C-alpha cells in the first residue's frame, strides 16, 4: 500500500491506498446536467497512463511522428500536453489539501479541473491535485505526477484469482436510476442505460472493429446483441462471411473452433485480460469489465418485490416505471474514439475510412 506525499514538503496528502486498474469510464462525460457518483472505491488508486487536461495542441501543431510515439495512430482534434501518469483517487481519500479559490475551470455545477490543479498542499501551498465533481462527470481527485510522490507503507494483498473474483464479484445491471444535478433529495431520478455499460461498450466496440478485419461480425443473441450488433452492422460491410464473437472467461469453456473473437473479462486489480489455460487461442480477445461480462454471461432478472416498511426519500418508490427498454443502446463515442486511435490496427485503410465516415449519431 502507498501514501501520497507532497513533492515539496513531504506532507501526507492521502490515506493508505492500494493500486487497481483504471476504470474504463474514467474520462467519460455522460449526458447533460446529470449527477454521477465517485469513480474510485475508497482506499484505492489507479494511474492514468495518458495525459489529461490542458494545455492542448491541435493535430496540425504536432511534429511528424510525435503522435505515434505517444501511441496514437489516427488523427484526433487535439492532444493534451499535460504530464502523463496522474494518480486517480476518491475525493474522500484526500488529506492535508485545500481548494484554491477561483480555480473552478469551465464548470457549471461544480469543478472540472479544466484550468489545472485546483487543490493545494496545506503545508506549503504547492498545487498538487485537481478535484473533479461537475455535472455529467465522475467525481474524482487527480494527483499531479510532478507534484506528489508515493511512499510505500505496507504490503498489498495478493490479487484475487479469477475463481475468487468471479465468486465474489457482483454483476452490473445495464439499467440504473440517474439523478439530475441539483434536484431535491429523491427527485429528478430516471432510469437510463448505465454509464459504465456505455463506456465499456465504447472500448469493446473499438476492439471489435479491429478484430473484424473488415468483415461482418456476429455476437451472441440477447443483451450482447443489444449492445453491439446494431453498431457493428452499421459500420461493417454486409455480405461477406461473418466473423463470430463469443463470450469466454472463468467457468465458460472456450470453443475449440468457430470462434474468431472472444469477449473476455479484465481483472479489476491487475488490469490483465483473462486468457484460457493451455495454448493461447488464435482468436482476438476483446476486453470487458468483469461486472459487465458477468451480466452478459448470466443475466439477472430485475426484482419485482416491493420494499418493505417506509421507503426512504432517496429510494425509488416501488410504483415507479420499470427500466426503459425501448431506447436504443449507444456506446460511449468518446471512449470508442479514445480507444480506437490507440490501437495500431486503426492504420488499416478500411478502418480509417470508418473512422472518417461515421459520427456519434450514426452508430
Q: What would the pLDDT profile of 172-214 be if each residue is shown by its tens digit?
A: 889 888 888 665 554 556 788 999 999 999 999 999 999 999 9
Residues of the chain above pLDDT 90, percent:
61
Whether residue 262 has pLDDT greater than 80: yes
Distance CA 165, CA 171 (A): 11
Residues with Cβ within 8 Å of residue 256, at least 6 apart in sequence? none
> 177, 196, 195: which is closest to 187 by C-alpha?
177
Give the pLDDT confidence score for residue 149 in this predicted structure.
Answer: 97
Q: Are 232 and 249 in contact (CB under 8 A)?
A: no
Q: pLDDT of 281-325, one tens digit each? A: 688 999 999 999 999 998 876 544 445 555 555 555 554 444 555
Give the pLDDT confidence score for residue 239 in this predicted structure.
Answer: 83
Distance CA 128, CA 86 (A): 11
State how beta strands 175-180 and 34-35 pair: antiparallel
Whether residue 260 has pLDDT greater than 70: yes
- Find out whether the peptide bond into 40 is cis, omega within 30 degrees of 0: no
Give the pLDDT confidence score for residue 361 in this predicted structure.
Answer: 42
Distance CA 118, CA 108 (A): 15
Position with higher pLDDT, 360 vs 332: 332
Distance CA 119, CA 236 (A): 46
The pair phi, psi for residue 113, each rounded to 5°, is 70, 15
Whether residue 72 has pLDDT greater than 50: yes
In the chain, what's the furthest Cα-to-Cα distance?
66
Highest mean predicted confidence (pLDDT) among 107-116, 141-150, 156-165, 232-241: 141-150
Q: Where is average pLDDT lowest: 35-49, 58-72, 323-337? A: 323-337
CA torsion, ordered 167, 168, 171, 177, to nearest 10 deg: 160
Q: Work out the mean pLDDT of the chain and round it to a whole number.
A: 87
Amino acid at each position: 500500500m502507498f501514501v501520497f506525499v507532497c513533492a515539496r514538503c513531504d506532507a501526507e496528502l492521502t490515506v493508505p491506498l492500494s493500486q487497481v486498474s483504471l476504470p474504463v469510464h474514467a474520462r467519460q462525460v455522460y449526458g447533460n446536467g446529470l449527477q454521477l457518483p465517485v469513480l474510485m472505491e475508497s482506499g484505492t488508486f489507479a494511474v492514468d497512463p495518458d495525459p489529461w487536461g490542458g494545455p492542448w495542441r491541435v493535430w496540425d501543431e504536432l511534429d511528424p511522428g510525435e503522435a505515434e510515439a505517444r501511441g496514437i495512430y489516427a488523427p484526433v482534434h487535439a492532444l493534451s500536453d499535460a504530464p502523463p501518469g496522474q494518480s486517480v483517487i476518491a475525493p474522500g481519500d484526500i488529506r492535508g489539501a485545500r481548494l484554491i479559490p477561483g480555480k473552478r475551470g469551465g464548470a457549471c455545477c461544480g469543478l472540472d479541473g479544466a484550468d489545472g490543479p485546483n487543490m493545494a498542499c496545506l503545508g506549503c501551498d504547492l498545487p498538487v491535485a485537481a478535484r473533479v465533481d461537475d455535472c455529467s462527470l465522475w467525481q474524482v481527485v487527480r494527483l499531479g505526477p510532478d507534484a506528489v510522490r508515493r511512499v510505500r507503507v505496507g504490503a498489498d494483498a495478493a490479487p484475487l484469482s479469477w475463481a475468487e473474483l468471479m465468486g465474489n464479484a457482483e454483476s452490473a445491471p445495464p439499467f440504473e436510476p440517474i439523478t439530475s444535478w441539483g434536484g431535491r433529495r429523491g427527485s429528478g431520478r430516471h432510469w437510463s442505460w448505465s454509464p459504465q455499460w456505455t463506456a465499456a461498450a465504447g472500448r469493446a466496440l473499438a476492439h471489435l472493429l479491429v478484430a473484424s478485419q473488415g468483415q461482418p461480425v456476429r455476437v451472441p443473441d440477447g443483451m450482447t446483441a443489444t449492445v453491439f450488433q446494431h453498431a457493428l452492422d452499421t459500420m461493417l460491410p454486409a455480405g461477406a462471411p461473418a466473423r463470430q464473437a463469443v463470450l469466454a472467461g472463468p467457468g465458460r469453456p472456450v470453443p475449440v473452433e468457430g470462434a474468431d473473437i472472444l469477449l473476455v473479462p479484465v481483472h479489476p486489480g491487475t488490469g490483465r485480460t483473462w486468457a484460457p489455460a493451455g495454448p493461447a487461442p488464435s482468436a482476438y480477445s476483446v476486453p470487458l469489465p468483469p461486472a459487465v461480462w458477468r451480466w452478459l454471461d448470466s443475466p439477472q432478472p430485475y426484482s419485482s418485490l416491493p420494499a418493505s416498511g417506509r421507503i426512504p426519500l432517496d429510494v425509488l418508490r416501488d410504483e415507479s416505471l420499470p427500466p426503459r427498454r425501448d431506447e436504443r443502446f449507444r456506446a460511449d463515442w468518446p471512449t470508442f474514439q479514445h480507444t480506437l486511435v490507440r490501437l495500431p490496427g486503426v492504420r488499416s485503410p478500411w478502418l480509417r475510412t470508418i473512422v472518417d465516415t461515421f459520427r456519434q449519431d450514426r452508430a
